[in-house]
Amino acid sequence: MAKSQEGNMDVDYVISYHFTKTDKATALAKFEKLVEALASVGLQTEVRNGESQSVLLFLRVASDEHLFGEVYRSRVRDWIHGVRAAAPPKETREALEAEPLYEAERLRIIYQLITHPQSEGGAGITPKEGEWENVHSLFALHDKAYNDDWMKKWRTSYFLKTEDLDDIRNRFGEKIAFYFAFTQSYFAFLLFPAVFGTGAFLLLGHFSPIYGIVSALWCTVFTEYWKHQEVDLGVRWGVRGVSKIEHRRRDFRHEKLITDPITGESVGLFPVKKRLQRQLWQVPFALTAALLLGTLIATCFGIEVFISEVYNGPLKWLLVFIPTGILTAVMPVLTTFLTSMATQLTQYENYETHAAYETSLTQKMFVLNFITSYLGIFLTAFVYVPFGNIIVPHLDIFSVAVRPFAQNEKQLAGPEADWTINPDRLRKQVIYFTVTAQLVNLAMELIVPKLKLRGGKWFKKYQSDRAAKNGGTTPNPAANDPPEDAAFLKRVREEAELEVYDVTTDLREMVIQFGYLSLFSVVWPLTAVSFVINDWMELRADAMKIAEVMQRPTPWRADTIGPWLDSLSFLTWLGSVTTSALVYLFSNDGLGPDGHPANIKLWALLLTILLSEHAFFLVRKGIQFAISKLDSPGLQQERRERFLVRKQYFEENLNQLKSIPKMVDAGEEITKESLEEDARRGSLKESTPEVRFWGRQKGWKETVTVGKNLIERYEIEASPEEKKEL
Amino acid sequence: MAKSQEGNMDVDYVISYHFTKTDKATALAKFEKLVEALASVGLQTEVRNGESQSVLLFLRVASDEHLFGEVYRSRVRDWIHGVRAAAPPKETREALEAEPLYEAERLRIIYQLITHPQSEGGAGITPKEGEWENVHSLFALHDKAYNDDWMKKWRTSYFLKTEDLDDIRNRFGEKIAFYFAFTQSYFAFLLFPAVFGTGAFLLLGHFSPIYGIVSALWCTVFTEYWKHQEVDLGVRWGVRGVSKIEHRRRDFRHEKLITDPITGESVGLFPVKKRLQRQLWQVPFALTAALLLGTLIATCFGIEVFISEVYNGPLKWLLVFIPTGILTAVMPVLTTFLTSMATQLTQYENYETHAAYETSLTQKMFVLNFITSYLGIFLTAFVYVPFGNIIVPHLDIFSVAVRPFAQNEKQLAGPEADWTINPDRLRKQVIYFTVTAQLVNLAMELIVPKLKLRGGKWFKKYQSDRAAKNGGTTPNPAANDPPEDAAFLKRVREEAELEVYDVTTDLREMVIQFGYLSLFSVVWPLTAVSFVINDWMELRADAMKIAEVMQRPTPWRADTIGPWLDSLSFLTWLGSVTTSALVYLFSNDGLGPDGHPANIKLWALLLTILLSEHAFFLVRKGIQFAISKLDSPGLQQERRERFLVRKQYFEENLNQLKSIPKMVDAGEEITKESLEEDARRGSLKESTPEVRFWGRQKGWKETVTVGKNLIERYEIEASPEEKKEL
């Protein structure tokens, strides 16, 4: 058994049952129902006081025998879906001995036991949803000892080894392990562009085509290699093919019931056409998002350009921050609004499976993040630089923002005659996004949850103090704790208040970061250096986040980073376009325009893009081919497993065949039999032409004799003249 | 049993054993060995005289029992490789009753029995190769009655139904059936562009962007739909996944023997690196081919332009045919040479499996065919038109070709001052390739083999006449035929002389034809009309070819048209580029250049291509998505099979689990047991905190009581003021 956590009182899961919003009678009835449902699937329960109008329900599997059954069932299901090559041994105990349960597997199966609908053998508890609104959270307890070890180990090691990833997989499940594996892989790959980028920065200058080509190549190799790596890890962790197992969404609303032509069961159906119609809303959604975010970003961009390059009145140093201020204030509101729109739209699209839902939501999130992350740089590179001379004179519409500070109209007037585009603006912007923003983000990720925690505690204390002043008491949940459980219960109460970890947020962050490298690093080749430093910390910060400021995540399985992989491929492709365009637009080597937009030739730009894009397609095919030739321990292991299974099946099924004798001397034997047969048939009725045809040569030896005869006769019959000529 | 052919004397296969080139002793010894090898795998033999120094060896399976074993073995192998969802029933006879053998399956299995190496249970006969050089051919006999029916039916029906394809599959195997299915599918799809093209021709004029867009869309839909169709047919015919079963090539030469880490067997290895090096020769090969063919085509093109547009001397009407003459004479020699080069190079690349070999050869053949088929039109469209004014004046180098006929130098001088490009040249060329060449080709396909046959017969007669004059005799192989077998043996002797059918040639023809439509039909929208007529005949001509002028093909399995599918995708993609470029270059609507190359803007051309190509990528994704949503009988059948198998496995494996009682009243039962357990453990040693923690509430009902108590107490303890605020 993989239950090795010390200090957790053998607890498998904890349910935090809140009754704040429900009237007492319902709360009591529901509580009884909850405990009964849990008991019905073989879970032992204990209840204790929780914080702020809640009780904590501790769960553990009552009988190992029961759990084994569930594990076996899950493994058989895996086998049938092709996740595992061979059927698990029929004897459950044997199966578990051959392949012991790891902690994440145990926790996943218990989680499913609790949450699966009753029709599938679960207790049907759905936290925060429908009937079970009062079930505020369902979480496993952190393994303090392991977490401390983990943190200590990571703080002192530079690289994560595959064993470290295995460890994460065993504790937190494959989905989170895949995030760490991806980030680690990305981190390792980053070392090359970091070194090469430094060299390019020192030797080649900015916008170097050589750096551009190498960077595009690197991005492609990384993306393709990661796809290969995913397969390898999937096999290593025994989860390859897991993403193909479909999990029906509980929220799926069917339009009508049909009888499945395959299973004969009655299933809910939602017409594809109707979903397609709903999906079409994605277009106005994307346009709205682009319009809203684009207007915001373009406005701030315009104000910024105006202030820094047109305005020359007082307080310029301060006013320059106006757009940043606007962005900081408005952007979060807008993205929160759009994210909620995206979620609602995805729900409205009414997908049947979790995977389809996730994919659709991820795509929308990618569009939003793409706009917020990259649009600013796109504006600078492809609007400000080529069309700056046309646009900047019109920016005086933004003078309204600084008019109060201007001393005279001249300070707000259009650019001077000798105004030229500031080529450094692009570089500064890229550095801002790839260094400053990354660091700020990292800090936020670590500090905000801690502040929230502290704030929450403070608020609670403040509340109870106030209640005390008012003569009442906020009941102290720990009041009746037995001394020996007190520390444990305190910890559980704290964990119950923590937030739930969402790995896709972290994954998205990495993919968006990769985008900067792929799309814009030619502007500033040190990008990768910044990312190497940032990601080293990021990996550790994320580990810390999981271990200390979040509830222990439910260990889900995965065999891929999912739809983000498509985003990665998309960014790699787009990189081949932007990099070549940037190299052409900003090239310093005299041929290109370099801040003289008049020199930009549209045909040359288009030709550059066209050639570079097609070179990319070609090279990607080559890289895919080369990587497909790579062998890996995972692939070997998979082939070995498959081979053994095949061999076993083959032997099992063909054993009986061997009992049929091979007719080595078939000639005689058969002939005798068939002769008799012929004779018999001949005597019964007239023999057929077939029987006579096959009866002429009796056995293979006679065929040989006749044949030899025919061959020799030919030689004799042929005239000597004829033979000479031949 | 699927052995229903009448008039074939129950013969399964015929071997034509030639001893022309071997001395007598070897011929005799080898013959004996051959018959013995065949007998050893349970084949009954009869020998008869053959034409021109050969004997005919008739084979049939001696015992059905033995064949059943082979069939069962083959089906088990399919199941293990995932081609069939369920294992065939263990009882062989039962398996064959549940799913009777079809003729092609029977013939395939017997063919494999004859040709597979002895280590795999076959007789190891390899026609025309190595030890078995004397085995000139190994073929099954045509089923005359069926063939006649087939021909009659097809001649009178407009459309082939799926049942007709099923019939072909049952007789000639899936590989040939897939060719017919593809051509039929293509033919059906062609009807739309034929109608639309006629409309466009009448209403929209040439180089219409609307036609271009519709045509590109159609090509994409067709390509993607065919991919979907392949899956469907694969399932229908029970061969889905067959292409994944690897067949080792007999010609594969290993470099060293290694122990396979997976199977533990000793296997031949050829280093991937070395193969990659050899594959690099494809680049010089492609360049050489392009150079040779390109020079030939460009030269003829140049001469043609010179004669028709520069030369104005006598005999112009005749001299214009000079380039056609050169092409007709040199092209076949060159392509034969290059094809043999391609084959040799592919052999040199030393692939392990048949599939890899085929793919590589097909790719090379596609390159060759691409150049010979399309280069001429490319030259006209993208060299002659835009650069004609620059190039044509230099064409007087070709004056050498017609100098003898010219009366004065003036007739050979450069073009006149008012010379302009002839925009009709492109159209004429496209019409030539899509009408004339197609018809010529179709006629050749039907007539040449018949002529060859007749020529062969005539030559034989001539030979024997001459021998008779010289006093010798060419032995008449039919001299000793029993009268009742005479007609049969005559037919077999004729079939032994026929050529072997190669389906890839026909498939290539169709794919190349599709290319004209995809790449150039915007030049002449009636292209599809010509193809509809041509393909209706083509389908029937191919059927006739198989039935009457070729040996009965060995029925191979396939689940796809193989590497040609990639060629199809490639041509579709390239079509999006050429069509848009042609529309821009030749647009009539006044904006474009239309014969005034000076008006061509490079940036506009590039922009057109860029936009159209990316629109194509986007639309293709959309079409792929839409088609992936289509259900089909095949997919449903596959899902049904999978579902039934899963259900069966699940039931088999989980039956025993049901014996473990579900703890519905787990609360009490467990608690009693665990209480006793607690008591026992408590008495044996000091109880642990865990035991005490879990011992506080005895059974779920007590948890409910305690929990309710906690909830109620909270409400009481909270002060009234507090409650009001909440």
Residue A711 distance to chain B (closest CA, Å): 7
- Please name the residue of chain B whose CA is at the shortest distance from the CA of residue A690: B9
Q: How far is A105 from chain B (nearest CA, A)?
A: 19
Q: Which residues, other chains included, contact B650 with Cβ-Cβ below 8 Å and sequence gap of 6+?
A: A76, A77, A80
Rounded to 5 degrees, φ, ψ at A638 are -60, -45
What is the distance of C-alpha B453 from the center of its chain? 28
Q: Do A9 and B693 touch (CB under 8 A)?
A: yes
Domain boundary among A109, A141, A173: A141
- Distance CA(B88)–CA(A256), nearest Å, equals 37
Name which of B584, B704, B724, B726 to mutate to probe chain A: the one with the most chain A Cβ atoms within 10 A of its Cβ: B704
Neighbours of B219 (CB within 10 A): 27
Contacts of B694 in chain A (CB under 8 A): 9-10, 44, 46, 60
DSSP state of A380: I
Helix (H) or strand (E) holding A55: strand A54-61
Query: How far is B353 from B369, CA to CA, in rounded Å?
Result: 24
Helix axes A174-199, A503-520, angle to 10 degrees: 20
Dihedral (CA of A113, A116, A117, A119) sign: negative
Count interface pairs A-B at CB distance under 8 A: 306
Q: Work out the number of other CB atoms within 10 angstroms of the CB of residue A245.
A: 15
CB contact under 8 A, B38 and A272: no
Q: What is the 3-state secondary structure (H, E, C) of B470-502?
A: CCCECCCCCCCCCHHHHHHHHHHHHHHHCECCC
User: Which CB contacts under 8 angstroms, 24+ apart, belong to A271-280?
Assistant: A272/B629, A275/A349, A275/A350, A275/A351, A276/B629, A278/A348, A278/A349, A278/A350, A279/A349, A279/A360
In chain A, what residues touch B713 (CB-CB under 8 Å)?
475
Are residue A189 and residue A332 in the same domain, yes or no? yes
Task: Tell whether A637 is covered by a domain.
Answer: no
Average confidence score pLDDT of chain A = 82
The Cα of A644 is separated from the nearest Cα of chain B by a number of Å equal to: 8
Q: Which residue of B has its CA nearest to A697?
A: B46
Q: A20 to chain B: which residues are within 8 Å by CB?
A: 726
Q: Between B603, B706, B708, which is nearest A602 by CB?
A: B603
Could you give the CA distance from residue A92 to residue A271 in angstroms, rounded to a whole number?
A: 42
Inter-chain touch B9–A69, beta carbons under 8 Å: no
The one-letter code for the residue type at A319 is L
Q: Is B481 part of any domain?
A: yes
pLDDT of B205 reads 76
Residue A519 has pLDDT above 90, yes or no: yes
Of A476 and B293, more confident: B293
Q: Residue A693 contacts by C-beta under 8 Å, 6 or more apart in sequence?
A: B9, B10, B46, B58, B485, B488
pLDDT score of B577: 93
Query: Domain check: are A136 and A188 in the same one?
Result: no
Chain B residue numbers with beta carbons less than 8 Å from the beta carbon of A649 are 76, 79-80, 87
* Residue A1 belongs to some domain of the structure: no
Q: Are B215 and B540 in contact (CB under 8 A)?
A: no
DSSP string of B234-280? HHHTT-TTGGGS--B-TT---SEEEE-TTT--EEEE--HHHHHHHHT
When scoring A16, A35, A608 by the number of chain B Cβ atoms within 10 A, the one with the most, hence best to mutate, is A35
Cβ B10 vs Cβ B3: under 8 Å:
yes
* A36, A92, A640: residue with CB nearest B262: A640
Could you count the other beta carbons within 10 Å of the beta carbon of residue A615?
14
**A654–B73 C-beta distance less than 8 A:** yes
Residues A321 and A397 in one domain: yes
Identify the residue whose tokens are 């605020």. Answer: B725
pLDDT at A78 (0 to 100): 83
Cβ contact B610–A610 (<8 Å): yes
Task: State which H helix or E strand residue A57 sits in.
Answer: strand A54-61
**Phi and psi at residue A3, to the nearest 5°:** -95, 90
Q: Inspect the interface and report whether the beta carbons of A36 and B704 lie closer than 8 Å.
A: yes
Token pair in block for residue A268: 């809910």
Distances (CA, A) of B205 to A18, A559, B430: 74, 54, 16
Is A718–B472 a contact, with Cβ atoms under 8 angstroms apart?
A: yes
- Residue A409: the pLDDT is 67
Residue in chain B lying closest to A627 (CA): B272
A473 to chain B: which residues are within 8 Å by CB?
Answer: 717-719
Confidence of residue A571 (pLDDT cuts 50, 70, 90): very high
- The parts of chain B modelled with pLDDT lower than 70 are 1-6, 90-92, 400-403, 406-421, 423, 471-475, 588-599, 653-686, 715-726
Specify the residue for token string 């689940």.
B559
- Is the same domain home to B565 and B547? yes
**Angstroms from B228 CA to nearest CA on chain A:** 18
Could you tell me the two tokens for A300? 């701030």
CB contact under 8 A, B693 and A485: yes
Give the range of the structural domain holding residue B157, as residue numbers without chain letter: 151-247+281-629
Tokens of B726: 């909440």
Is the domain of B410 the same as that of B497?
yes
Which chain A residue has its CA at the smallest distance from B625's CA? A276
**End-of-domain residue from the set B141, B166, B186:** B141
Domain annotation covers residue A4: no
Q: Residue B65: which of A87, A660, A719 has the nearest Cβ?
A: A660
CA distance A207 to A591: 13
Per-residue confidence (pLDDT) for residue A53, from 0 to 100: 81
Domain final residue, candidates B141, B159, B194: B141
pLDDT computed for residue A588 by the predictor: 59
* Angle of CA points B318, B324, B328, to nearest 5°: 135
Q: What is the pLDDT of residue A215?
A: 93
Task: Say whether A674 and B39 touch across the interface (CB within 8 A).
Answer: no
Residue at A649 is within a domain: no
Q: How many CA atoms lie within 13 A of B47 on its CB side?
A: 24
What is the number of alpha carbons within 13 Å of residue A469 lying toward its C-beta?
Answer: 6
Half-sphere exposure of A516 (CA within 13 A, CB side): 30
pLDDT at A654: 67
- What is the share, in percent, of chain A residues with pLDDT greater than 70? 86
Question: What's the total number of domains in chain A?
Answer: 3
Residues B718, A472: C-beta atoms closer than 8 Å:
yes
Q: Which two tokens stand for residue A126?
A: 């759905």
- Residues B685 and B602 occupy one common structural domain: no
Q: Do A472 and B721 touch (CB under 8 A)?
A: yes
Q: Closest chain A residue to B24 measured between Cα atoms? A: A712
Q: Please tell me the predicted confidence (pLDDT) of residue A411.
A: 65
Nearest CB to A653 within list B31, B62, B90: B90
Taking the CA of residue B722 and the nearest CA in chain A, the distance in Å comes to: 7
**Residue A225 Cα, gap to closest chain B Cα (Å):** 18
Q: Using an 8 Å CB-CB cutoff, list chain B residues near A694.
A: 9-10, 44, 46, 60
Burial of residue B579 (number of CB atoms within 10 Å: 0-12, 13-18, 19+): buried
Question: Residue B604: closest CA among chain A residues belongs to which residue?
Answer: A603
- Would you say residue A253 lies in a domain? no
Place of tokens 């008019």: A403
The pair of three-digit structure tokens given for residue A249, joined into one six-digit string: 């969404």
B272–A28 CB contact, under 8 Å: no
CA distance A352 to A356: 7
Q: Are B408 and B314 spatial neighbours (Cβ–Cβ below 8 Å)? A: no
**Sheet order of strands, B135-139 included:** B43-49, B54-61, B13-18, B135-139
**String of DSSP letters for A193-245:** HHHHHHHIIIII-TT-HHHHHHHHHHHHHHHHHHHHHHHHHHHHTT-TTGGGS
Per-residue pLDDT tens over the stretch A322-357: 888 888 888 889 999 999 999 999 999 988 888 889
Do residues B482 and B617 share a domain?
yes
Chain A: residue nearest B477 by CA?
A: A714
Interval A579-628: pLDDT, tens:
999 888 887 543 445 556 566 788 888 999 999 999 999 999 999 988 88
- Within this chain, do residues A460 and A582 fall inside the same structural domain, yes or no? yes
Reduced to 3 states (helix: H, G, I; strand: E, B; else coil), residue A601 is coil
User: Based on the domain organization, do A122 and A72 belong to the same domain?
Assistant: yes
- Whether A261 maps to a domain, the answer reads no
A562 DSSP 8-state letter: T
Cα of A170 to nearest chain B Cα, Å: 24
Question: What's the pLDDT at A573?
Answer: 95
Residues A168, A223 share a domain: yes
Q: Distance between CA atoms of A492 and A490, rounded to whole angstroms?
A: 5
B39 CA to chain A: closest CA distance, Å?
6
d(CA B460, CA B452): 12
- Name the residue of chain B whose CA is nearest to A601's CA: B603
User: Residue B235 is encoded by which pair of tokens?
Assistant: 């399932």
Which residues of chain A make contact with B601, given a CB cutoff of 8 A?
Answer: 603
Q: A615 and A484: one domain? A: yes
Q: What is the mean pLDDT of residues A61-88?
A: 79
CB spacing of B670 vs A80 below 8 angstroms: no
CA-CA distances (angstroms) from residue A260 to A255, A263, A352, B54, B357? 14, 6, 15, 61, 43
- Tens digits of per-residue pLDDT, A202-220? 988 778 889 999 999 999 9
| Amino acid present at A90 | K
- Answer yes or no: do B178 and B302 share one domain: yes
CA angle B455, B458, B459 (to 5 degrees): 85
| Contact between chains at A690 and B10 (C-beta distance less than 8 A) | yes
CA pair distance A636, A640, nearest whole angstrom? 6
pTM above 0.90, yes or no: no
Three-class DSSP labels, A277-314:
HHHCCHHHHHHHHHHHHHHHHHHHHHHHHHHHHHCCCC
**% of chain A with per-residue pLDDT over 90:** 25
**Cβ–Cβ contacts within 10 Å for residue B178, how many?**
28
A483: Cα separation from own chain's centroid: 45
Cα separation of A710 and A705, whole Å?
Answer: 9
Q: Give chain A positions within 8 Å (CB) of B649.
A: 76, 79-80, 87
Tell me the mean pLDDT in the region A370-393.
83
In-domain check, residue A270: no
**Which chain A residues are closer than 8 Å to B721 by Cβ?**
467, 470-472
Q: How far is B201 from chain A (nearest CA, A)?
A: 32
